[in-house]
Structure formats: structure tokens, C-alpha cells
Structure 1
Amino acid sequence: MDGTPAQQLAETYLAMLNTHDPDLVDRFVAEDYVNHNPFVADGREANRQFWTAFFTALPDLSATMEDLVISGDRVVGRFVYRGTHTGEFLGIPASGNSVEMRSIDIWRVADAMFVEHWDELNLMQLFQQMGALPPLGAGSEGQP
């Protein structure tokens, strides 16, 4: 891999997504990783467990990195994830639907690893695509 160490961490994250190898977290997530995400607990092992479940729910997942911005100890990436929801995800049974999720991830880097993480996700749209939520405006046909 070319680029700065921070860029290499983001590229390893993307490689993990596209190879479906949750053990790659060992190469970019610090053991005491702090995750500001209500669905994923702190720590490397919790991160590994989340990705294992994510890849089970979306076994044909592919991801692209749309943007990468590095400033000081921060790495910001914008990602698009596409796959087919063929396994249970966060209690949502498999729907067989094609889904697209977008994220903006911000990581703090220390000692050549991601040590802290924040993200913004289009979860409402994802859950609608999985059939767990109705589409916006559902039931409003014919309403003034």
C-alpha cells in the first residue's frame, strides 16, 4: 500500500470490507478502541464481532471509499456499502433485498492505529430497505 500511515489504515478498513475478513481489524483497530456508535461496543474484539455479524447478514457486501480526508490525527472517510440482506442483522430477519448503506466515518489515530471512532450512517434508509421500517410517506396516499 502506498500513502501515509493514516491512509493505509483507511485502505485496510476498505480491504476488510471487500474481503469479508474481520480479522483484519488487528491491523487497524487498537485493542482499547473507543467507538461512539450505539450498535458497536468499545474494543477491538467488539469490532471484530460486529463485522463478523455484518458479513453474515450481507455476504455479498462490496464497499467503495468515495472520499478520504486526513488532517492531523483525524481520518475522515465517506463510504458506500452495497449488498443483499440474506442474514439476520441487528434483530432484523433476512429480507433478500438489495441494500445500500452510506457512512461518514471519523477516526482518531494514535500509535499507527485507529483508537477512536465516530460515524454518521443512513440507518433509517437501510432499515427501510431491509423491510424493518415503512418507506417515508407510506400510508399517506390520497391524503391532502
Structure 2
Amino acid sequence: MGTHKDFFKQFVQFINTADENLAQRLISPVAKFHVPGQPEPAQGPKGYLMVISMMRSGFPDIQWTLEDMITEGDKVAARFTMRGTHHGEFFGVPATGKVIGIQAINFYRLSNEQIIEEHGQPDMLELLRQIGAIPN
């Protein structure tokens, strides 16, 4: 069994590339992903790829960097920086060409070397501010 650090290196590679093979390997078919603004969690590898696709539709070049992580048993708290350029519509806001750099704090639960649950908390207020959807 690898370490959580090794696992999350692969996970960052997955979210930065949307690689379907990595999705199948890293994400449990029964995994639940709690996404802000969505009443029902996304589920399994397809659900996670859908979440990535939603972000990439607004920010096609988005890249995540793992800044920090804390682990306890099967749980991991991770802080990411997301960087990308607003080249597509996002939450109803037309493309602005503005570059974003925002933080996300996500909480994961792992089982059998796969993600089984995630609670994602991207700083949506800062993202919307950076693309000009809300005033500074």
C-alpha cells in the first residue's frame, strides 16, 4: 500500500488531465462527491469526471496544485490552489479571459486505496470576484 502522499500525487494528475483510466483506479464506483450548489452528490468515476468537465468548460486550462494535506486514518484534508483562465461560460458568466487563482479545501475519505467520499469547498466567492461576477 502506498502512502496518502503518493495517492494524492496521482489524484492531482487525474484532476489536471481528466484521465479516465486514473479515474477508474483512484475513485470507487460508489464514491460520493458533495459539490457546493448541487443538492445531490455526484457519484463514482463518471460523477467526478462530470465535476471536472464543469470546471473545464469555464476554465479549459485549469490546473490544481496540492499545497498541504493532513491525514488521520482513512481521512485526508487537502488544500489546493486552482489556477486557470476564464475562457468559457461559468455559472452564467460569459468568458472574460481573466486569470484566476483560488484556494479549495477538500475533505476525503479513502477505502481500499480509492476515494469513497469527498466534501469539496472551493472558494467560489473569490472565484466569482476574480472573474468580475461580483464587485471587489
Cα offsets for 1:87-133 (capped at 9, x unmatched): 12233221111111211111001121110111322110101112221
Name the counterpart of 1:43. 43
Deviation at 1:77, TM superposition (A): 1.1
Aligned residues of 1:22 and 1:52 also touching (Cα < 8 A): no
Which of 17, 32, 35 is matched with 1:34 structurally? 32
Match of 2:101, SS state, is strand
Amino acid across the alignment from 1:26: Q
List aligned pairs for 1:67-82, cutoff 5 A. 67-82=68-83
Name the counterpart of 2:104. 103
Q: CA RMSD in A?
A: 2.0
Deviation at 1:39, TM superposition (A): 4.3
The runs of 5 or more residues in structure 2 that have no matched partner are none
Amino acid across the alignment from 1:21: A
> Size of the alignment, in residue pairs?
132
Mark the structure with the bigger radius of gyration. Answer: 1
Name the counterpart of 1:140. none
Once the two structures are aligned, what percentage of the paired residues are identical?
27
Aligned residues of 2:18 and 2:49 also touching (Cα < 8 A): no
Change (3 A) 1:39 1:13: farther
Q: Hey, what's the Cα distance between the residues in 2 that align with 1:13 and 1:39?
A: 23
TM-score (norm 2): 0.84
TM-score (norm 1): 0.80
The runs of 5 or more residues in structure 1 that have no matched partner are 136-144
